[in-house]
Amino acid sequence: MLLLAGACGGPESTAGQRLTVPSPSGKHPVGTVSVHLVDQARPDPWKNDGAKRELMISLWYPAQEVKGHEVAPWMPKAAADRYQSENGLEPGAILMDRTAGHLGAPIAKHLGKLPVILYSPGANASRAYGTGLAQELASHGYVVVTVDHTYDASVVEFPGGRVERGPEVTDFAKAVTVRVADVRFVMDQLPKLDKERVFQLDRIGMFGHSLGGAATSSTMHEDKRIKAGLGLDGAIFGEVGVSGLDRPYLVVDTPGKGGMATNPVLRKFWDGLRGWRLNLTLKGAAHNSFGDDVLLIPMAAKALGLTKQQLEEVVGTIPAARALAFQRAYVPAFFDLHLRGRKVPLLDGPSPDFPEVGYRR
């Protein structure tokens, strides 16, 4: 999803603003590394030149030691400059240079086996939008793999500063099919990426926002390696919408367009969930109240000429702090229950700590 959603007017200098994702709440410091993957068995489905499918992913994990390891940027500089320029902002208008992840820090081997969680972003978005949740989960002892789906993602920076992007995706069914293949390929690579042999590969979960939610449910339908899935205002495409799933799934939706109340496809999917299931509706939220969107989009609103009404249509009326608190509580709780077998009272019923959350089993 581009920042430009519904923008009017011209760009205005906003130099000096820094995107600051909340520090993770877990007890472990966070390490991260970006990895360039090439699927030699698959021509890129978005190109017609026979080139093999290339992906960039990031691994986020609990670190043993972070001293001497600089923090990772939210988005690499060449990608960030291109991203802002194409959204009507001056390159560098918003500084995207800081996360809680430390580049190349050694993984915390003393923790033993670590469950793995995959993340797929929304259409025309970037894996960077999942940074806040990725580092939050990593601080609680998970390995999180965020995936950029090249030529579907807004921008992808490869080694050497090469930046790739495609036209805005409109064939969402094809995009989901491509994403499913991407994620299954990434799972195939996990044993090679597990240098210290600490990934718990029989405990893999997945979540995503919007089209990333569709990628989550569809990948689960195709691949039993994913034991539990979660969609943040996720779409539903393909066979999974008819056949459902037999493993745990958490549907997070909003009261507006695309939510359970107005989307018959999502309701049919819900009816077809045969395993543990839960539907949480975040009141006051809009489609981009999830991930780091809820922080980044308001930062760019003035420069993009977004009115208050336009901004509320994109990120809702829920305060950003509450939208973030919801994600930081419920997403780890879901994976703690289904990947670690821990009893989590938060998921047992409505919580007085989250009055803006509608609860349905």
Domains of the chain, each with CATH number or no CATH: 18-360 (3.40.50.1820)
Q: What is the pLDDT of residue 15?
A: 52
| Helix H or strand E segment including 148 | strand 143-148
Residue 186 has pLDDT above 50, yes or no: yes
pLDDT band of residue 8 (cuts 50, 70, 90) is very low
Q: Which residues contact 169 (CB under 8 A, 6 or more apart)?
A: 123, 124, 152, 175, 211
DSSP 46: T
Q: What is the pLDDT of residue 29?
A: 98
Q: Is the dihedral angle over the CA atoms 180, 252, 2, 145 positive or is it negative?
A: negative
pLDDT in tens, 224-244: 999 999 999 999 999 999 999
Average pLDDT for residues 99-107, to the nearest whole number?
A: 98
* Contact status, residue 118 vs residue 226, Cβ threshold 8 Å: yes
Give the burial class of 110: count Cβ atoms within 10 A of its Cβ; 0-12 exposed, 13-18 middle, 19 or more buried: exposed
CA distance 151 to 167: 7
CA distance 201 to 315: 35
Q: What is the pLDDT of residue 205?
A: 99
How does strand 52-62 pair with strand 94-95?
A: unpaired
pLDDT band of residue 143 (cuts 50, 70, 90) is very high
pLDDT in tens, 11-61: 344 456 899 999 999 999 999 999 999 999 999 999 989 999 999 999 999
Q: Which residues contact 346 (CB under 8 A, 6 or more apart)?
A: 329, 330, 333
Average pLDDT for residues 207-229, to the nearest whole number?
A: 98
DSSP 106: P
pLDDT band of residue 4 (cuts 50, 70, 90) is very low
pLDDT band of residue 167 (cuts 50, 70, 90) is confident
* Contact status, residue 292 vs residue 128, Cβ threshold 8 Å: yes
**Number of CB atoms found within 10 A of residue 25's CB:** 11
Q: What is the pLDDT of residue 248?
A: 98
